[in-house]
Amino acid sequence: MAFIELIGILAGLDIIIKSEVEDRDSAEFPRAFDKKGIITLHKSHNKGLPFGFLKKYESLVRMLPTVTASALGGIFLWLMQKKGHVLEKLAVSVTLAGALSNLHDRLVRGYVVDYFSVNWKGLKKIIFNLGDIFIFIGTILMVICQLKED
């Protein structure tokens, strides 16, 4: 049950932050989040896949994340029936939380709310949300799991 709770907490956290950003006036953005200016807050609407890819194909942009989240959900249910495999379960849980948060945006708002960037080298121009970070972390954990098996 801890993994189900983790999915709900992580996805819920991102959805709450996105709602907070959406409720604010666009004139408040962009702005520095911290005193050193490492993180900048934004209010950005992404109608496509990552980096705006396929944004002109609305039905495809809704369908692909739905299929992906469904597949992750199936993998999660399959893994939950197995004893052990804690790292794999964690990896899928974190990835699924990010996928569900972003899917929620796509289905409810018609776009994904991205709200922060990191002012470091090539990352300056990329605006993320926590769901994106969860997907990234979960994917890294999955790679680690695969490398451990070899």
* Residue closest to 7 by CA, chosen among 131, 106, 116: 131
How many residues in the chain?
150
Q: Are 116 and 127 in contact (CB under 8 A)?
A: yes
From the candidates 14, 23, 34, 132, which is the catalytic residue? 132
Q: Are 141 and 90 in contact (CB under 8 A)?
A: yes
- For tokens 């970070």, the residue is 133
132 as an active site residue: the answer is: yes
34 as an active site residue: the answer is: no
DSSP codes joined into one string, 111-145: SEEEEEEE-SGGGGG--B-HHHHHHHHHHHHHHHH
From the candidates 14, 34, 114, 150, which is the catalytic residue? 114
85: left (phi over 0), alpha (psi -120 to 50) or beta: left
Q: Which residues are catalytic?
A: 114, 132
